[in-house]
């Protein structure tokens, strides 16, 4: 009897920890750092091989809060003539012709109560890769930094930027 | 200028080799270091209790424990200490950059490791002469244990930096940033596994106790079984909770499905240990030492593989060769220079800016990208700005080997600036 109880307790304890691991996996999976995108856009080709500067497509990075995803017309500027036979480009062309925006899956997101400006950070001389990693080497874009307060504040501290609450929580 | 603190790019192949070097060295180093720590801790505790209770069997087990864990000093040296330089080397290369972690951060744990080995071997030779130790060698043993534990703790702090490369710039400015919950949990997990493994090794003494000349010593067997089972059970029960805490404290960028699968295998192995020790029938007669040790070695393997996968995930974004950073940097430097330039230079600077942001998408001066190399096509205009402006403003297909150039979305004055910039650049051959 005692042995059965011990066995049940043990299986409960070890089983619970396996379940917790599975639960943590589920939580992590919901915010996958490298989500699949509707069109498999290869940064390795555009930013890597062709060395197109980031701001060519993310045109607002140095002049607005949001870096912006490029309009389809930017893509079609080249892809109306280049690599038109590829499946992903065909998908892109269909979106363009049907005037249907591509629903890119967000990789980095900040909560509503955070004020963040790309422009400020670029003006301060930060390179895109400091926060976003080497996107040029990523086949599928991957979140390389969790945008948590400790991370922001540590960097502000090291670089002597403002640590006033109202800087980010306006 | 590379962004400060960004790890220097390693080629994926080098990174892979370094990762495997790190894994292999950790696999040799950590279990041995763990056995030495847990074995000497058990020996010291047994020695104290044996002296207080006038219990010869505890003293005998105390001596046998320290003999077993520091038994072959060549094995200890070869697998416990020699892999340390390999760990340092691979960590420093992976961390990379102009200023990897300062050398003293690595020398201090290594010094502690050597000092610990030395003090423990003093303790060992003293206990071999007499089981009732005078205070001095006992203190040497305790100090040795402390040194070993600190060495392992420091090593875990440094290893923790690898799963959170985002903190590297901060760590370089202030070593206090090395402190992290993940390192602490990792260290505790290491201790739990070490105690479990040492428990398994002590359980192996049962066989030796039985084989002793003069027949069995049931009291000694009981003592061995109690000590071994306690240590293994502490390990087996602590490990699952620590694995869960480890996953909670691991930065999300280090995670992947493989990490979770390997982590989930650890509580299952721990359950097997628990079953072997407490649930399976006939435990009084069985000698589960080998199986318990093997299961703990497997757990060590799973945890170390889990760690190295997390390192690979964390560095996924920053291990590949840098891409357009160079182009951005050039344009930034150009901008800075432009502030001091005047007149013509300012106009050329504007042209360069347009070129960097618009034209460089498809054109290089010396290489074919999407469009032809500019060093080949621009000279055809023989310095005629108007003609080049007409083409840039309204491009037509010239060479059938290239796709037609789309009309760029730039203003009239920008067309003028970029045409002048191109002609100046190709003419002077800069």
Go through the domains of chain B in sequence order and give each one's CATH number: 12-316 (1.20.1630), 326-428 (1.10.760.10)
pLDDT in the model for residue A94? 94
Q: Which of B309, B317, B359 to mutate to test the interface with A (most CBs of A within 10 A)?
A: B317
- Chain-chain contact of B323 with A13 (C-beta, under 8 angstroms): no
Instruction: State the Cα–Cα distance between residues B12 and B259, nearest whole angstrom.
Output: 20
Residues of A in contact with B237 (CB under 8 A): 13
Q: Does residue B333 or residue A85 have the better pLDDT?
A: A85
The pLDDT of residue B286 is 58
Across chain B, mean pLDDT equals 81
Distances (CA, A) of B77 to B56, B74, B105: 31, 5, 21
CA–CA distance, B377 with B198 (Å, rounded to integer): 74
Most confident of A91-100, B85-94, B208-217: A91-100
Q: Distance between CA A50 and CA B370 in Å, rounded?
A: 8
Q: Region B328-345: what's the mean pLDDT?
A: 50
For residue B97, what pLDDT band results from cuts at 50, 70 and 90? low
Look at residue B6 and give its three-state secondary structure: coil
How far apart, in whole angstroms, are the C-alpha atoms of residue B371 and residue B132?
Answer: 86
CA–CA dist A61, A54 (Å, integer): 9
- Count chain A–chain B contacts defined by CB atoms under 8 A: 171
- Arithmetic mean of pLDDT over chain A: 88
Closest CA to A146 of A46, A29, A39, A31: A31
pLDDT given at position B218: 74
Residue recorded with tokens 């044996």: B50
The count of other CB atoms within 10 Å of the CB of residue B219 is 12
| Mean per-residue pLDDT, B206-228 | 71
Backbone region of residue B382 per phi and psi (left: phi > 0; alpha: psi in -120 to 50; beta: other values): left
Distance in angstroms (rounded) separating the CA atoms of residues B269 and B264: 9
- For B425, residues 6+ apart whose C-beta sits below 8 A from its C-beta are B365, B374, B378
- Residue spans of the domains in chain A: they are 1-30, 42-68+108-170, 70-103
B321 has pLDDT over 50: no
How far from A155 is each of A142, A163, B170, B377, CA to CA, in Å?
A: 21, 10, 7, 46
Give the least confident one: B149-153, B200-204, B247-251: B200-204
pLDDT at A165 over 90: yes
Q: Which residue has the tokens 């690599």?
A: A83
Cβ of A144 and B253 within 8 Å? Answer: yes
Does the beta carbon of B169 lie under 8 angstroms from any beta carbon of chain A? yes
* Residue B268 predicted with pLDDT over 80: yes
**What's the pLDDT at B278?**
82
The crossing angle, in degrees rounded to 10, of helices B412-428 and B344-357 is 100
Q: How far apart are CA B329 and CA B314, in angstroms?
A: 25
Other residues' Cβ atoms within 10 Å of the Cβ of residue B81: 17
Any idea which of A23-27, B180-184, B189-193, B385-389 has the lowest mean pLDDT? Answer: B385-389
Average pLDDT of B219-239? 87
Q: Residue B323: pLDDT band by 50, 70, 90 thresholds?
A: very low
| H/E run at residue B3 | none
Share of chain B above pLDDT 70, in %: 85
* Site of tokens 């042209």: B351
Q: What is the pLDDT of residue B343?
A: 63
From residue B133, alpha-carbon distances to A168, B67, B118, B139, B418 in Å are 63, 15, 18, 10, 87
Q: Is A143–B279 a contact, with Cβ atoms under 8 angstroms apart?
A: no
For range B29-54, the mean pLDDT: 89
Residues 6+ apart with CB under 8 A from B362: A50, A78, B369, B370, B371, B405
Binary contact (B357, A55; C-beta < 8 A): yes
Once rounded to an integer, what is the mean pLDDT over residues B175-204? 91
CA torsion angle for B347, B350, B352, B356 (degrees, to 10)?
A: -170
At A16 the pLDDT is 93
The confidence band for B294, taking pLDDT boundaries of 50, 70 and 90, is very high
Buried b (16+ CB within 10 A) or exposed e, B122-135: bbbebbeeebebee
> According to the model, what pLDDT value does residue B385 have?
85
Residue B353 pLDDT class (50, 70, 90 cuts): confident
DSSP state of B213: T
Give A12's DSSP letter. H
pLDDT at residue B49, rounded to an integer: 86
Six-digit token string for B36: 């030495």
The single-letter DSSP state of residue B79 is I
**Is A47 within 8 Å of B255 when comparing Cβ atoms?**
no
Of residues A81 and B256, the one with the higher pLDDT is B256
* Complex prediction ipTM: 0.71
What predicted TM-score, i.e. pTM, was given to this entire model?
0.73
Contact A48 B323 (CB under 8 A): yes
Spatial distance between the Cα atoms of A50 and A45, rounded to a whole number of angstroms:
6
Instruction: Report the SS3 class of residue B82.
Output: coil
* DSSP string for A18-87: HHHHHHHHHHHHHT-SS---SS---HIIIIIIS---HHHHSTTTTTSSS--PPPHHHHHHHHTTSSTTSH
* Chain B CB within 8 Å of residue A126 CB: yes
């Amino acid at each position: 009897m005692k042995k059965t109880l011990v066995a049940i307790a043990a299986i409960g304890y070890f089983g619970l920890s396996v379940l917790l691991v599975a639960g943590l996996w589920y939580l992590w999976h919901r915010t996958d750092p490298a989500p699949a995108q509707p069109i498999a856009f290869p940064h390795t080709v555009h930013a890597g091989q062709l060395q197109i500067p980031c701001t060519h497509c993310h045109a607002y990075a140095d002049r607005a809060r949001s870096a912006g995803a490029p309009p389809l017309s930017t893509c079609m500027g080249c892809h109306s003539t280049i690599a038109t036979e590829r499946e992903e480009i065909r998908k892109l062309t269909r979106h363009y012709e049907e005037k249907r925006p591509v629903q890119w899956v967000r990789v980095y997101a900040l909560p509503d109560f955070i004020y963040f400006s790309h422009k400020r950070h670029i003006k301060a001389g930060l390179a895109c890769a400091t926060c976003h990693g080497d996107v040029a080497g990523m086949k599928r874009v991957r979140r390389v930094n969790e945008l948590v307060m400790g991370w922001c504040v540590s960097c502000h501290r090291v670089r002597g930027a403002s640590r006033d609450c109202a800087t980010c929580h306006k | 200028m590379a962004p400060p603190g960004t790890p220097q790019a390693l080629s994926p192949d080098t990174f892979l080799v370094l990762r495997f070097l790190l894994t292999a060295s950790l696999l040799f180093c950590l279990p041995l270091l763990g056995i030495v720590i847990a074995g000497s801790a058990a020996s010291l505790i047994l020695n104290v209790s044996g002296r207080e209770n006038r219990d010869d069997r505890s003293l005998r087990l105390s001596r046998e424990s320290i003999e077993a864990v520091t038994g072959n000093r060549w094995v200890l040296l070869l697998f416990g200490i020699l892999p340390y330089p390999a760990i340092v080397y691979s960590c420093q290369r992976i961390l990379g950059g102009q200023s990897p972690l300062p050398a003293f951060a690595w020398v201090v744990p290594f010094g502690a490791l050597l000092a610990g080995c030395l003090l423990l071997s003093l303790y060992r030779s003293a206990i071999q002469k007499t089981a009732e130790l005078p205070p001095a060698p006992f203190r040497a043993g305790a100090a040795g244990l402390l040194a070993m534990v600190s060495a392992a703790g420091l090593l875990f702090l440094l290893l923790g930096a690898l799963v959170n490369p985002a903190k590297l710039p901060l760590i370089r400015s202030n070593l206090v940033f090395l402190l992290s919950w993940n390192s602490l949990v990792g260290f505790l997990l290491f201790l739990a596994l070490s105690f479990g493994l040492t428990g398994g090794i002590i359980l192996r003494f049962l066989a030796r106790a039985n084989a002793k000349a003069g027949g069995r010593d049931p009291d000694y067997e009981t003592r061995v079984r109690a000590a071994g089972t306690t240590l293994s059970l502490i390990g087996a029960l602590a490990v699952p909770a620590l694995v869960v805490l480890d996953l909670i404290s691991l930065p999300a960028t280090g995670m992947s499905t493989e990490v979770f699968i390997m982590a989930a295998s650890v509580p299952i192995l721990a359950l097997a240990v628990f079953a072997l020790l407490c649930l399976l029938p006939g435990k009084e007669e069985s000698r589960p030492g080998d199986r318990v040790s093997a299961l703990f070695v497997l757990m060590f393997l799973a945890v170390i593989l889990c760690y190295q996968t997390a390192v690979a995930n964390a560095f996924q974004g920053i291990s590949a060769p840098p891409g357009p950073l160079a182009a951005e940097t050039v344009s930034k430097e150009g901008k800075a220079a432009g502030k001091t330039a005047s007149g013509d230079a300012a106009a050329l600077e504007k042209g360069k800016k347009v070129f960097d942001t618009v034209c460089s998408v498809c054109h290089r001066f010396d290489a074919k990208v999407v469009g032809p190399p500019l060093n080949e096509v621009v000279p055809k205009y023989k310095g005629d700005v108007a003609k080049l402006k007409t083409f840039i403003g309204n491009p037509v297909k010239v060479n059938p080997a290239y796709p037609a150039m789309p009309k760029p979305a730039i203003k009239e004055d920008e067309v003028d600036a970029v045409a002048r910039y191109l002609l100046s650049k190709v003419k002077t051959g800069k």
